[in-house]
Amino acid sequence: MSKKTKTFRPKARRPKGLEDRFAALARAEADLLRAASTVYERHGFEPLSTPALEYADCLGKFLPDDDRPNEGVFAFPDDDKQWMALRYDLTAPLARFVAENYDGLPKPLRRYAAGPVWRNEKPGPGRFRQFIQVDADCVGAPGPAADAEMIMLAADVMDAVGLRRDDYVIRVNNRKLLDAILENIGVAQTDAGAVQRLRVLRAIDKLDRLGVDAVERLLGAGRKDASGDFTQGAGLDAKGIAAVLAYTRAGSGSLDDTLAALTPLMGASVTGKDGLDELRAIAALLQSCGYDDGRAIIDPSIVRGLGYYTGPVFEADLRIETVNEKGEAARFGAAGGGGRYDDLIARFRGQPVPATGFSFGVSRFAAAMHAQGRLGASVAAPVIILALEKDQMPAYFAMATDLRKAGIRAEVYMGGSGMKAQMKYADKRGAPAVVIVGEDERASGQVTVKNLALGAQLSKDIKDNREWREGRPAQESAPAEKLVDLVRAALGPQDTLT
């Protein structure tokens, strides 16, 4: 006898660094996207959607990667042997779109976009390989006014999702200031110097997450994390490390005070002077519009990790308390960020195209807001119309339609089970009520609505139609045309959609 071939059954498992987001969290994300989109539309921005896949060379190498095309991104060769990659943000695809359609676009181009992005990075607490971003960008505006507007936009979104003024702060800086510090400590303007500069940026960007001691090692020889993985450091000497850390601590509270503290650190650097002038212009605009009320501050420790920023950078920091993966109280931290990237489109066109933008990380931001009860409010479960007679489905669907027109969530049971299983289904769905029309109701032109406020306790002992007819717990019957009134009486006004 031949050996029976065993059927292969894959193990159901979710890839590391990816999330399933159901019901409440998905609604919280949708609430945040609606809030952000409303703010962007109010400021005159227009929506734009770009593909999830781009050519890898169009995306460019702005993540912490090596020479492999798929390091930092998820990439594969296309049929024509060109490398394709999932977008790692929404800004690089915008740069490709602008370069490809430059002559026909209004300039400045004011655009917003939302969608998933992917990072081929080591997953960890709060670090996911797929997450949703919502961005606003202004392309073709060279002055600091466009940067100031991005900061105001970010604050307006925070307000729109229900945060109080002391729940968040927009931290502002300018990459040119750090460039001046690095010039002063001798970081060369060479390819090797560019690599060193990028490692300095990424080290500083980890200050909030890893702390000063770890960042000090990343600015020097490097650091081994708890898992044993080693991250190559920037290679600065002790004097250089001290200068960089002193710069990150120069924040003094108010916009004017911090600018005064930063000025002597720039020395004779022209780059540093330009950076300070841009920050002063941004500060004046924020003050004129009232955003200097604690919503926006200058913070030299904010540098942002992406390599394409060329000037002002900003980060939205949530000050609300949340709970970490271990159930411990923790500060949420960054909810999004952005900055000026004048050279990104120049990769395609060979000439600078000024651009600035801001991006919210929707998934983590929405999760934190939902945990605070500020987004993703629960939605009343639907009323279930039991399908006791399969040949009466048109009538059941007509009832569902009438309830929906009245602003009541409703669904017809679509399974193949009998009444007991249908009642259990309604209970598991959390349905506030069920509509029952069987043979007897149909013959008498009646409809019965059963209130399931007591949940499983009311339905656990029901075995068949006879038992239900004899017990009839928490239910009312009336002529079929009174269906909506019966359901409203069972639900109360809080369970309707309108």
What is residue 378's predicted lDDT score, i.e. its pLDDT? 77
Average pLDDT of the segment spanning 322-346 = 81
The angle at the Cα of 209, spanning 208 to 214, to the nearest 5 degrees, equals 95
Extended strands (E) in 374-413: 383-385, 410-412
CB 294 within 8 A of CB 166: yes
pLDDT beyond 90 at 478: yes
Q: What is the dihedral of CA 455, 460, 466, 470, to 10 degrees?
A: -60
pLDDT beyond 50 at 455: no
Q: Which domains does the chain have, with CATH numbers?
A: 24-371 (3.30.930.10), 383-495 (3.40.50.800)
What is residue 65's predicted lDDT score, i.e. its pLDDT? 43
Binning the chain into helix, strand and coil, the percentages to the nearest 5 are: 40, 20, 40
What is residue 456's predicted lDDT score, i.e. its pLDDT? 45
What is residue 333's predicted lDDT score, i.e. its pLDDT? 82
What is residue 223's predicted lDDT score, i.e. its pLDDT? 92
Report the DSSP beta bridge partners of residue 115.
Answer: 133
Give pLDDT tens digits for 298-328.
999 888 877 788 999 999 999 887 665 566 6
Give pLDDT tens digits for 350-379.
998 999 999 999 988 888 888 788 887 778
pLDDT beyond 80 at 420: yes
What is residue 306's predicted lDDT score, i.e. its pLDDT? 76
Give pLDDT tens digits for 160-214.
998 998 999 999 999 999 989 988 888 888 878 888 888 888 888 888 888 999 9
For 181-236, give the DSSP string.
HHHHTT--SSHHHHHHHHHHHHHHTTHHHH-HHHHHHHHTTEEE-TTS-EEE----
Percent of the chain with pLDDT over 90: 59
Range among 101-110, 118-127, 213-222 with highest mean pLDDT value: 101-110
CB 201 within 8 A of CB 344: no
User: Which of 448, 449, 415, 447 shows the shortest CA–CA distance to 429?
Assistant: 415
Element (H, E) at 447: strand 446-451
Of 71-75, 179-183, 416-420, give the lowest mean pLDDT range. Answer: 71-75
Alpha-carbon span 45 to 108, nearest angstrom: 11
For 290-340, give the DSSP string.
TTTTTTEEE-TT---S-TT--SEEEEEEEEEEEE-TTS-EEEEEEEEEEEE
Percent of the chain with pLDDT over 70: 90
Q: 385: number of CA atoms within 13 Å, CB side? A: 26
State the chain's mean pLDDT as an integer: 88
Alpha-carbon span 240 to 245, nearest angstrom: 9
Using pLDDT thresholds of 50, 70 and 90, give the confidence band for residue 122. Answer: confident
Q: Which residue has 């050279």 as its token pair?
A: 343
Q: Which residues contact 343 (CB under 8 A, 6 or more apart)?
A: 308, 310, 352
CB 333 within 8 A of CB 208: yes
Average pLDDT of the segment spanning 84-94 = 94
Using pLDDT thresholds of 50, 70 and 90, give the confidence band for residue 330. Answer: low
pLDDT beyond 80 at 56: yes
